[in-house]
A and B are shown apart, each in its own frame.
Chain A
Amino acid sequence: MKADNKMNRSMAERDAEVMKTLKILDDMPRIEVHHLFRARLLQRIETGESRRAIAGGFNPRLAFFSLLLAINIGMGMLMITHRDPQSVTAHGGATAESYSDDYGGPALSYYEQAADSQGNE
């Protein structure tokens, strides 16, 4: 009996909360429109129109192809500047020279010495 009463009371409380929450919509006041509403609106319309006038001559497809062309030209230029043949041969020549210096010295030419010593024998 006590449990039933408690349950009924809690259901009544819950329903009261639900009613209060739904009442927010009924009590919602009508808002007064801001006095600058029209002025702001006209300004936004004018700004939008001038923006559209500027964008009127803009062709997105043409812009896209121009961008692709620019990227292609840029890539080509990059490839040309990075493939400088003179600098490559000069660098290669220096490396070859240093190799011949390192391995052509008398300290590492024991094969020839060995051949010489065999000939002497």
Chain B
Amino acid sequence: MAEHQDMVVNTCYRFVMNREDAEDLAQEVFIEVHRSLDRFREESKLSTWIYRIAVTKSLDHLRRLKRKKRFSSLKRIIGMDDDPADAIAAPDRENPADALSDQERVTVLRDALDSLPDNQKTAFLLSKQDGYSNQEIADILQTTVPAVESLVHRAKKNLQSRLQRYYDSDR
């Protein structure tokens, strides 16, 4: 477990961009691994299987957040707003204006990532993390290396156009 723990936590962190949530998700991943280790068929490497669980759990968490966000905006519309939006980790800055703009940037990036299809999002985020080769990403996604390359390329293009649209409308 120790050898995968760091990789699992950091994989979850890439998806959820929040340290506490990432550690909590990583714990759920290892609980799931512990629970269903007897169902693990050695068709893939153990690490690939664990990272696949981490990706699935992270995507589920993002879906839950999306639902929660929709529900809270509905509550805001009908005047039942109770709690503020979830905190998102942004790099620490001494200047509050910089910190605010970083925070805004993180939110914009998260929204843009949220709008991507799951396979594009996964391929893109894993490709950004040290330690994953394209072959490993292909194994996690149960696809081929050229398919992963194509997914990453499309994800980049989609993200760029979404962000361009956002900054155009912001002006």
Contacts and interface: CB of A to CB of B under 8 A. Distances in A.
A74 B23 CA distance: 48
A44 B29 CA distance: 12
Contacts of B9: 31, 33, 37
Contact of B105 (A21, A28, A31, A48): A21
* Size band of the interface chain B makes with A: 35 or more
A41 B30 contact: yes
B30 A22 contact: no
B19 interface: yes
B154 to A, nearest CB: 15
Nearest to B128: A25
Contact of B22 (A18, A20, A31): A31
A15 interface: yes
Nearest to B12: A31
Contact of B5 (A20, A24, A27, A33): A33
B164 A24 contact: no
Contacts of A40: 27
Contact of A22 (B1, B23, B27, B159): B159
Contact of A18 (B6, B13, B128, B163): B163
Contact of B163 (A17, A26, A37, A44): A17
- Could you tell me the dominant secondary structure of chain A's interface residues? helix
A31 B13 contact: yes
A54 B19 CA distance: 33
Interface string A1-27: 000000000100011011011101111
B23 A37 contact: yes
B10 A20 contact: no
Interface in A17-75: 17-18, 20-22, 24-28, 30-31, 33-34, 37-38, 40-41, 44-45, 48
A40 B9 CA distance: 14
Interface string B6-21: 1001100110010100
Interface of B: 1-2, 5-6, 9-10, 13-14, 17, 19, 22-23, 26-27, 30-31, 34-35, 91, 102, 105-106, 108-109, 112, 125, 128, 130, 159-160, 163-164, 167-168, 171
